[in-house]
Structure 1
Amino acid sequence: MLTRALLPRLLGRFLGLGALLAAGTAGAVTAPMLVVDVDSGKVLYSQGATDPWYPASITKLMTTYVALDMVRQGRASMDQLLAISADAAAEPPSKMGFKPGTQITLDNALKIIMVKSANDVAWAIGENLGGSVEGFANLMNEAAQRLGMRDSHWFNPNGLPDARQWTSARDMAVLARALIRDFPENRDLFSISAIQFGRAVMPNHNGLLGRYAGVDGMKTGFICAGGFNVVASANRNGRRIITVVMGQPSARERDLKAADLFDYGFGQSVGWGGQTLADLPVSAAAVPPDMRPYICDRRRPMPTDADSAAATASAAAAGANADNANAQLMAAAAPPSSALAFATMNSAALRNRALPPRAPLQPVLVWTGRDPAESAIAATDEAVAAKPAKAPRVKAARTKPAPSRTIAATGATVPQPRLLARQKAAAPAAAAAYASAAPATAVIADHKDRAGAKHAAKPGAKHAPKAEARPAPKPKAVAAKSVAAKAARKSKDD
C-alpha cells in the first residue's frame, strides 16, 4: 500500500512535464522548459521559463562566453597556456584529473569543458583569466547584465553546487543566442561529438548530438538539487531553434523531452506579434527549489549525466522494469479518470520511446602543453617516473651512449632521464668493483671503444703498445717457491 511519504516521490518521478510537489510546501514546482526562435527571439513555447533554477554544468556556457569575449577584446588568446592549480586539481568529478602544474591552452580547455564538462579545467579557466575564481565570477555577472540575463547569479565557473548560484531557462536562452550571434567563428565548439586525449576517447554528454537531426550544440548539466538540464540548438532548413529543458529526473527523459520540443518548435511559424524573451514575466519564486529528494534517492544508484545510448541492455531492462512497477503502483493509487492516471499514461508512452542510435563519433584531439609533441614528452616522462627504480648493475658504468627517445612529430631527440640517473647511481659501485678485480697492469686510455681495447689486450697483437704486451710480475709467494726449488736441485747435484 502506498504511504503518504511515497506518493509525492512517485508523483515527482513521473510528472516531468507537469507539477512536482515541493518538499514541505503545499505549492507546486514546474520543471522549466522553453523553445525560442534564434533569429527573431520569439518564444514558441514557455513553461516556468523565468523561475530560478540551479544550472549545474550549463554554467560552463557562461564561462565560455566570458573567455571568448576576453579573446575578442585582446585580453586573452586561444593559444595562451593555463596552469592547473592545486585548488583546480582538487575539484570533484567530472574532471580530467590533471596534476597541479599541468599547462593547457585555452582552446583545448574550452573544448574539454564543452565535451567532458571537466570541473577542474573550468576552475583553471576562471583562476587564470579572472586572477581568481571570485574575480572571474564578477566577470560572469558583468557579462550577464550586459546581455540582459536578469535572473542569474554566478559564483563559480563550473556549476558545482552553490546555494547562491542560479539562473533561469529564459536567461540560458538569452545566453545561447548571444553565443551564436557574437562568436560565429567558434560555433563548432558546441557541436564536438567527442574529444581524444592520448588513447582515451570521451564522448559528449549531450545525448541529442548525432541522434536528433539538425542538433548542433550546446551543453548539458546535472546536480541533484537541479536535476538534469540541457541547452540545445538545432538547425532545420536554415531555421535555428534553441530549446531549454531543466529539472528532469534522468538524462534519457531530458533528451526525449527536448526532442519533442524541437518537433513542436519546428512545426510553429514565427509570424508577426507573439512574445519575445524580453516579454516573459518575472517569476514569483524567490529562490530555486531543491530537487534532491526527487532526483537523488539514496535507495537508488546515483544518476549520471551520460549519454543514455551508452547504457548496457541489462541496465536498460532493469530501469524499464522499475518504471513498470512504479507505473502500476501509480495506476492503482488513483482512479483511471484522474489527472494522475493521465500523467502515468504519458510516462509509459515516454518509457517505450527511444532516440535513434548515435552517429559514429568524430573525436577532436586535445593535449596538455603548447603542442601535441610537448604533451607526448610530458606523458612519457610521467610514465617513466612512475615506474619503480631497479637496483643498479655494474654494466651500467661502462661507457655507452645514453638511449634516447625521438618524437616523430618534431624529430627532436630527448635523453631518457630514468636511464641517465641509473647510470650515475651505479658508477661509484662499479668503479670500486672494477678496481679490485683489475690486474696490476697499465690501462690503455688511448683507445676510444671497447673493440679496440679488447684487441690491444691480446698477446702479440700488431698494434698493441709495448707497455701492454708485458705481463704483470708474479706474486712474491710464487717467486719464493722457485728459489727453494733451485736450491734443492743444486744440493742434489752436489
Structure 2
Amino acid sequence: MLRVVFSAVVLTVGALFGAAPAVQAAPYAAIVIDARDGDVLHSRNADTRLHPASLTKMMTLYLAFEAVENGTLDLDQQIRISRNAASEPPSKLGLRAGQRISLRYLIRAAAIRSANDAATAIGEAVAGSETAFSQLMTETARSLNMNSTTFRNAHGLTASGHMSTARDMAQLSRHLFYDYPQYYNIFGRTSASAGIANVRNTNRRLLNNYRGADGIKTGYTRAAGYNLAASAERGQERVIAVIFGGRSSDWRYHRMVELLNMGFERAPARVATIRPQRAETGAIMASVRPMPRGTSEVTQLMAAASVVGNAIVPQAQAATTASAFAPSPTAMRLRSDSASLAALAERSVTGVAPMAAPRPEPRTGDWAVQLGAYRNPDYAESVLTNALASEVAALNSARRQVSETVVNGVNLHEAQFIGMSQEEATAVCSSLRAQNRICRLVEPSS
C-alpha cells in the first residue's frame, strides 16, 4: 500500500516539475516515396502543416549549393559572421561576430552538426539578410512544388508561420539528390572538420546502422517533436522517408527503420526515373561576389542575378566533381556565352520602357558598384535608396542608375552607383559588405 502511494506521489511531482515521461510534442506525420519517380508508397498526415525544425536547413543548403553552382559564392569564400548569426541559440558551431570562415565549413556545420549559427550565416551570405533569405526560401519552395511550406528563418527554430509538411520535405529531399548530386555526399558523412571544430552527424545512428542510408537531416524542437528526413539506396532502388512529430530520438530511429523497410518492400525493382522539375517563380538572387579585373561584360551581367527556377545563369563548373567538399580549393567559374545575352535596353525607374536604346555606361575611367539585379525596377531603385542610409560617404556624390538588361529573355534591372574612382568603389563595396549588404565592383568599360 505504501509503495503504491509513494509511486503516485512521484508521478504527480514529476508531472509538475517536468520529470514525467516524454509525450509527443506535435501530431505525427510521415511519408515514404520512391525517390526515382516520386511515387508515394506510404502516407499519414503528409499534408498537415507542422513545424519542420532543422529540416529547414535542407532548403538553406539547397540555396547554398545553388549559389556555388551559379558562381555567386565560392566554397572557399570567407564569410563574415554577423552579430545576428553569432547570437543564435544551440545547436551551434560557436561562431563569433566579426569572425571570417569559409563557406565550405559553414555548409559542413549546418548539414552535419545542424548548427543554427552556421545556417544563419549562410542565409545572410546568399541573400544579404535573414529576412531576404527567408523570402527567397519560400519562393524557392514554390518553384519546387512545396506549396504548403513557408519559411521565416534559415535554421528552423520555432517561429510564427514557419511551417511545412512531410510531403513537401520529401519533395525537397528529392531535389537535393537530383539537382545537386555533386554536393549530396555531405549528408552521408558521420563527421567532418568545420574549421574551428570537428562536427559529428546528428543522423549518425541511422547512417551507421541502416544498410544503404546516406542522409539526410534530423530536426528537433519542443513544438515540432523529433523530425527526420532520410534516404537510402539498395541496388537500383532508392527510398526517401520523412517523419514529423516523433516522440523521442530512439522512437524516431526505430520508426524510420520501419518506414524505409516498408519502402523497399513496396518499391518496384525497376521503374523509369522521373527527375523532379522546377517552375519559374521570378525570384532573383543577386551576386555578392566582386568580379575580377578583366571579366567580360557578359560574365558580369550573368553573375549579377540568377533566376530561382529555370536558372538564367549557366551552372558553374567545379574544378573537381568527385568530392565537392574536399579540403583542396575548388575554383568556381561561370561559363559566359555572348549568344545568350539579348539586346540591352534602357528603362526608367517608373517602369515605362522607352524604345530600345544603348545601355548607359559609366564615363571612361569611372568605376561603379552594383547592388544586385532585380525583376522589379522600383525594387531596384529602393535598394539604392536604402543603401544611402548606410552612411557610406562616397555614395552621396555618386550617380544612381537603374538600367534594364535582358538575359535569356528575362528582364532584369541593375541597381548601380556610378561615377567613382577605383579606390572609392572598392571602399564602398567593402563598407557595404561589412553591413551584410550585396555589392560587387564594375570596372570601366574602357
* TM-score between the two structures when normalised by the length of structure 1: 0.50
Q: Tell me, in whole angstroms, the C-alpha distance in 2 between the residues paired with 1:145 and 1:199.
A: 35
Question: Is 1:72–2:69 an aligned residue pair?
Answer: yes
Which of 162, 172, 175 in structure 2 is aligned with 1:165?
162
Q: Is the 8 A contact 1:129 1:136 kept in 2?
A: yes
Q: Label 1:198 to 1:189 Cα distance change in 2 as closer, same or farther (>3 A).
A: closer
Instruction: Kindly provide the CA deviation profile for residues 425-459 of structure 1, in whole angstroms up to 9, marking residues without a partner as x.
Output: xxxxxxxxxxxxxxxxxxxxxxxxxxxxxxxxxxx
Q: Tell me, in whole angstroms, the C-alpha distance in 1 between the residues paired with 2:53 and 2:21.
A: 20
Residue in 2 that maps onto 1:233: 231
Q: Which letter maps to 1:245?
A: I
Q: Label 1:156 to 1:67 Cα distance change in 2 as closer, same or farther (>3 A).
A: same
Q: Label 1:272 to 1:235 Cα distance change in 2 as closer, same or farther (>3 A).
A: closer
Instruction: Kindly provide the CA deviation profile for residues 216-258 of structure 1, in whole angstroms up to 9, marking residues without a partner as x.
Output: 0000010000000000000011211001011012111101100
Give the CA deviation at 1:13: 5.5
Total equivalences in the alignment: 265
Q: Tell me, in whole angstroms, the C-alpha distance in 1 between the residues paired with 2:183 and 2:98.
A: 28
Unaligned runs of 5+ in 2: 1-7, 277-324, 332-446
- Which is richer in strand? 2
Question: Is 1:138–2:138 an aligned residue pair?
Answer: no
Q: Tell me, in whole angstroms, the C-alpha distance in 1 between the residues paired with 2:220 and 2:80.
A: 26
Q: How does 1:383-462 map to 2 (within 5 A)?
A: none
SS of match in other structure, 1:267: helix
Residue in 2 that maps onto 1:53: 50
Q: Tell me, in whole angstroms, the C-alpha distance in 1 between the residues paired with 2:197 and 2:69.
A: 32
Q: Which letter maps to 2:207?
A: L
Mean alpha-carbon deviation: is it higher for 125-134 or for 190-199? 190-199
Q: Is the 8 A contact 1:196 1:366 kept in 2?
A: no
Q: Is the 8 A contact 2:237 2:269 kept in 1?
A: no
Residue in 2 that maps onto 1:328: none
Give the CA deviation at 1:269: 3.3
**Structure whose alpha-carbon radius of gyration is higher:** 1
Q: Is the 8 A contact 1:196 1:365 kept in 2?
A: no
Q: Label 1:72 to 1:199 Cα distance change in 2 as closer, same or farther (>3 A).
A: closer
Q: How does 1:236-255 map to 2 (within 5 A)?
A: 236-255=234-253
Which of 85, 90, 93 in structure 1 is aligned with 2:90?
93
Q: Is the 8 A contact 1:195 1:365 kept in 2?
A: no
Question: Is 1:260–2:258 an aligned residue pair?
Answer: yes
Give the CA deviation at 1:184: 1.1
Give the CA deviation at 1:73: 2.3
Residue in 2 that maps onto 1:478: none
Residue in 1 that maps onto 2:312: none
Q: Label 1:86 to 1:269 Cα distance change in 2 as closer, same or farther (>3 A).
A: closer
Which of 113, 116, 140 in structure 2 is aligned with 1:116?
113
Which of 117, 122, 127 in structure 1 is aligned with 2:124?
127
Residue in 2 that maps onto 1:185: 182
Residue in 1 that maps onto 2:218: 220
- Which is richer in helix? 1
Give the CA deviation at 1:101: 1.4
Q: Is the 8 A contact 2:29 2:44 kept in 1?
A: yes
Q: Is the 8 A contact 1:30 1:47 kept in 2?
A: no
Q: Label 1:83 to 1:43 Cα distance change in 2 as closer, same or farther (>3 A).
A: same
Q: Is the 8 A contact 1:115 1:202 kept in 2?
A: yes
Q: Which letter maps to 1:212?
A: Y
SS of match in other structure, 2:164: coil
Which of 266, 269, 275 in structure 1 is aligned with 2:267?
269
Residue in 2 that maps onto 1:38: 35
Residue in 1 that maps onto 2:351: none
Root mean square deviation, CA, Å: 3.1
Unaligned runs of 5+ in 1: 21-28, 279-363, 371-494
Q: Which letter maps to 1:178?
A: H
Instruction: Kindly provide the CA deviation profile for residues 303-323 of structure 1, in whole angstroms up to 9, marking residues without a partner as x.
Output: xxxxxxxxxxxxxxxxxxxxx
Question: Is 1:105–2:81 an aligned residue pair?
Answer: no
Q: Label 1:10 to 1:244 Cα distance change in 2 as closer, same or farther (>3 A).
A: farther
Q: Label 1:200 to 1:67 Cα distance change in 2 as closer, same or farther (>3 A).
A: closer
Residue in 1 that maps onto 2:202: 205
Q: Is the 8 A contact 1:149 1:174 kept in 2?
A: yes
Q: Tell me, in whole angstroms, the C-alpha distance in 2 between the residues paired with 1:61 and 1:105.
A: 19
Give the CA deviation at 1:196: 3.1
Q: Which letter maps to 1:105?
A: S
